[in-house]
Amino acid sequence: MNIEPVPGGPGTVAPRAPEPLSRRSRASALLTLAVRHPAVVPTGAVVLAVLIGAAIVLAAGLNPISAYSAVLAGALDLENLDYTFSVWALICGMALAAAIPLRMGEFNLGGNGQMVLGGLAAAFIAGQLDLPSILLIPLAVVAAGVVAGAFGAISAPLSTRYGIPIIISTLLLSPVAVAIVSYLLRFQLGEAGSAVAQTERFPDSAHMWALGSLSYSNMGLILIIVLMALFWLVDSRSAVGFELRVIGANRRFASYGGVRVGRLAFGAMAASGAVAGVVGAIIVLSPPYRLVDGALLSPGYTFAGLAAALLAGGRPAFVPLTAALFTILQVGGGGMERSADVPRQLSDVLQGVVIIVLALRTIVDSRRTGRSATS
Amino acid sequence: MTTVPAVALVGISKRFGAIVANDGVDLVLSRGTVHAVMGENGAGKSTLMSILFGLVSPDSGNIFVDGKPTTFSGPLDAISSGLGMVHQHFRLFESMTVAENVVYGAEPRRNGLVNRKAAHDRVRELSARYGLDVDPGAVVGTLSVGTQQRVEIFKALHRDARILILDEPTAVLTPGEVTSLFAVIRRAADAGTTVVLVTHKINEVLSVSDEVTVLRDGRVTGRFQRADATSAKLVHAMTGREVTPVANSGSGSVGAAVLRVNNLTVVDHHTVRVTDVSVDVRAGEIVGIAGVSGNGQHELVEAILGTRRALSGTIELLGRDIGAASVRDRRALGLAVIPEDRRGEGSAVQLSTAENLTLGHHRTAPVGASRGLRRGWISLRAERARARDLIAEYDVRTSGEQLPVGSLSGGNAQKVVIARELSHNAPLLIAEQPTQGVDVGAIEAIHGRLLDYRATGGAILLVSHEITELLALADRILVMYAGRIFAEFSRSEATTARIGAAMAGAQAETDIPTEASRL
Ligand SMILES: Nc1ncnc2c1ncn2[C@@H]1O[C@H](COP(=O)(O)OP(=O)(O)O)[C@@H](O)[C@H]1O
Ligand SMILES: [Mg+2]
């Protein structure tokens, strides 16, 4: 066997400075970046949901195009826009309540309970205190935030101290709060002599300020927009927002880096509950200006908001958009039923499909990372 | 010479998309020799071996076995032509016994059923022939990594492999296990088996190989006979440049104690991990902790960092008792840590390189601010600028600071961790396996930085299972074994043999317990 140094072998290889990545690999890096872009999967989920919805409508012997155009027309009709925006504010608020813990990888499924407790606190202030609007409304909103925030925050120590997952404790505590509020409305705080379990109508000083001549959208919409902007700012520019994202990405990495995971979880759950409570306050301070048993829950803002937050991956910039999508479905569902003869339940089906596609993504992702971890 | 080589690979090329993994590679294996295939990570070694073993088909090039042109349609084909391969990542059935794994696919049968006794006998026979002790009835999942690797080797030998391919076999072994592996390799080669040893460790090449082929960026950059190969020539062929090894000169002044650990005991799930350990590290000193992984080093580090509570004992940092302090307070006081588990603890793979570099620096200038109006806020511009500077300074190969760390190679991700922790300029640095997955050229750069850290008065606790690394850097070396400080060596006393023996628990045991004693 004859082994000799290859021509131009080790002796002659010119020393080479570390060179930057080639253009080829930069292009492929860009491609990966594009495919991994956070908007890709959600968009795919929506497109898929729309197609599946179309298939269902077709299977029922109806015309999907007219169904969808009825949805859009119902929601985006100029006359309806005022109403659509008022619903968007509430869904957006509940999406925000879900998005905050989602940043640290936790699910708040207790939006209903937090929202109802917030509504109760606001109703109590609005009904009991005789103050001018300028004090009464902020006070009611703040009280709602504090009470619901405290309720939401309970789940944090339950998780960090006692190991009860936040997703479980929020889910289980929520009906308790709903039942308590319902009880209070029926037997303690309810309007005497009314057949419906509801409070008395609040005085005018407790009516949420209108926005010009709009009849549905009021200052609550502005409040939610401000909260969204605040969320975006804290998420992208603050130390706390950064720490939350680090926890969401890798909890061990966060602890190792000195992030106080327990405290942050407490703060995030309190903020999440507080936002849900504020949504409850906005609802009761709007027409019919009462806290009506069950009225906060029946429109399903919590679930729509949760779906919107999941679709946005909790990202502040996307939440308003995905919330708008579910708002259109919800508001336009009625129009679709009227003009295209498609039951409004199709909206729920589409919401469900989006969630399933997102869940599948999570599974695929974990499979993929599981595999690459061993390769 | 006239003998036909056992295997000749001629002009092998293989691309994966834009990456050229092998580019016209020639590899000639003479019968009965140990042939080392060397190269840095990503040089194309595993790809070449996969092609030889029929796992990957080359884009072009030819394979000759015993002089005859051969194409393998799959590994089964390769096995029937007398090849055997031990992969970098084992492919064993963890819930099955050693004997079942060894004979799998080529079972001795009796009346159509697997003959268990014959299988056990076969394992005992192989054990005796190659001087490797393995219990045929043991369940593979319960065995140490070193023993599992023997099972892999037996699998190949059981099928009478004449050509045995070992892909980075020593990465997971203790020094003692490496020695016994090399004895087996030598014995197999002397018996006529052709062995291919894939590695990037120079001392291994020099100690066991007869011939060497060096790859770089998919091309052959050097071929040597054992007699002509020197460490400098091999490094030059691997890296394309001169790499001067750095070493602790032993000079410099040692200051006051920065870290004082006294009689520390750490318990995890009723198992004692660290028993009564005392360590001091002084300013301007590198204290090395040697040990096979799993002997309590990591738990010691966790206790010092504060991610794990100690059962008893005290930890003092800069004279302050930090036993009850939070991780954040300990870090603020003056502690930085390069952790062993890069993916699990040292980084968040989905987050960008910039964000990974920011953690721990996000409440201090320039990215954050510790006082004033900007306190609690982050400047994205400062984050980007700082990330770019560190990427340049630490030579992290990436096409952008916004790409997720998970998209970087292991060595580059390691540089991100090192950059983040060294830039704290903390009085105490704990470095666990600081050069894992890093290329030869970059290892020297990292070693140089650690020595600079020491020279500027930093105290370093260096945890490593690379003895060469400890010998090059440490002023003192402590050996941990079964949760205790088992031995201590000064610079002048420390030798590979002494440390290796202590790592194995002093007695030349073949099987090193990785589990500390139960409570
Ligand atoms: N299956 C594959 N798909 C894409 N790229 C690959 C694949 N296998 C290896 N590569 C790439 O080919 C190059 C050589 O890899 P490899 O042969 O594993 O190197 P080594 O074993 O020397 O570290 C690397 O850049 C690696 O990323
Ligand atoms: Mg490899």
Structural domain spans, chain A: 64-358
B188 lies within 8 A of chain A by CB:
no
Q: Helix A261-284 to helix A133-153 angle, to the nearest 10 degrees?
A: 140
**Is B21 a pocket residue for ligand 1 (Cβ < 6 Å)?**
yes
Overall size of chain A counted in residues: 375
Q: What is the pLDDT of residue B487?
A: 93
Which of B1, B89, B368 has the CB atom closest to A1's CB atom?
Answer: B1
Q: Which residue, judged by its Cα, is nearest atom 25 of ligand 1? A: B42
Note the pLDDT tens digit of each residue in A36-78. Answer: 666 777 787 788 888 888 898 888 888 888 888 888 888 888 8
Which of A25, A256, A374 has the CB atom closest to B18's CB atom?
Answer: A25
Q: Edge-to-edge, what's the strand order for the sheet holding B211-216? A: B83-86, B163-167, B194-199, B34-38, B211-216, B219-225
Question: For residues B248 and B491, is the Cβ–Cβ distance under 8 A?
Answer: yes
Q: What is the pLDDT of residue A44?
A: 79
Mean pLDDT computed over B260-265: 97
CA–CA dist B356, A369 (Å, integer): 18
Lowest-confidence range among A31-40, B120-129, B289-298?
A31-40
Which of B221, B223, B360 has the CB atom closest to A3's CB atom?
Answer: B223
Q: What is the pLDDT of residue A17?
A: 38
B5 lies within 8 A of chain A by CB:
yes
Which residue in A113, A292, A284 sits closest to A186, CA to CA?
A292
Q: Which helix (H) or strand (E) holds B114?
A: strand B113-114
B370: left (phi over 0), alpha (psi -120 to 50) or beta: alpha
Q: What is the pLDDT of residue B142?
A: 82
CA angle, A340 then A345 then A349, to 5°: 110
Mean pLDDT computed over B107-125: 87
**Is B44 a pocket residue for ligand 1 (Cβ < 6 Å)?**
yes
Q: What is the pLDDT of residue B305?
A: 97
Average pLDDT, chain B: 89
Note the pLDDT tens digit of each residue in B176-217. Answer: 788 888 988 998 999 899 999 998 888 888 889 999 999 999
Q: Which residue, judged by its Cα, is nearest atom 3 of ligand 1? A: B16
B263: left (phi over 0), alpha (psi -120 to 50) or beta: left
Fold of B257-348+427-518: Rossmann fold (3.40.50)
| Residue ranges covered by each domain of chain B | 7-239, 257-348+427-518
B319 lies within 8 A of chain A by CB:
no
Is pLDDT at B164 greater than 90 in this prediction?
yes
Q: Answer positive or negative: Cα dihedral of B394, B398, B401, B404.
A: negative
Note the pLDDT tens digit of each residue in B378-394. Answer: 999 999 999 999 999 99
- If one looks up domain B7-239 in CATH, what number appears? 3.40.50.300
A256 to B240: CB separation less than 8 angstroms, yes or no = no
Question: For residues A182 and A197, is the Cβ–Cβ distance under 8 A?
Answer: yes
Question: For residues A342 and A70, is the Cβ–Cβ distance under 8 A?
Answer: yes
Query: Which numbered atom of ligand 1 lies nearest the CA of B45?
Result: 22
Q: What is the pLDDT of residue A239?
A: 96
Query: Which numbered atom of ligand 1 lies nearest the CA of B44?
Result: 17
Report pTM: 0.79
**Is B50 a pocket residue for ligand 1 (Cβ < 6 Å)?**
no
CB contacts, 8 Å: B327 with chain A = 255-258
**CATH number belonging to the domain at A64-358, selected among 1.10.3470, 1.10.4160, 3.30.750, 3.30.70:** 1.10.3470
B22 Cα–ligand 1 center, Å: 9
Q: What is the pLDDT of residue A36?
A: 60
Q: What is the pLDDT of residue A52?
A: 87
Which of B28, B221, B360 has the CB atom closest to A9's CB atom?
Answer: B221
Residues 6+ apart with CB under 8 A from B499: B175, B290, B467, B470, B471, B477, B479, B487, B489
Which regions in chain A score pLDDT beneath 70? 1-38, 362-375
Q: Which two tokens stand for residue B284?
A: 């301007």
CB contacts, 8 Å: B328 with chain A = 258-260
Ligand nearest to the CA of B37: 1
Mean pLDDT computed over B246-273: 91
Q: What is the pLDDT of residue B428?
A: 98
Q: Which residue, judged by its Cα, is nearest atom 27 of ligand 1? A: B42
CB contacts, 8 Å: A254 with chain B = 348, 359
Residue B380 identity: L
Residues 234-253 of B with CB under 8 A from A: 236-237, 240-242
B47 Cα–ligand 1 center, Å: 6
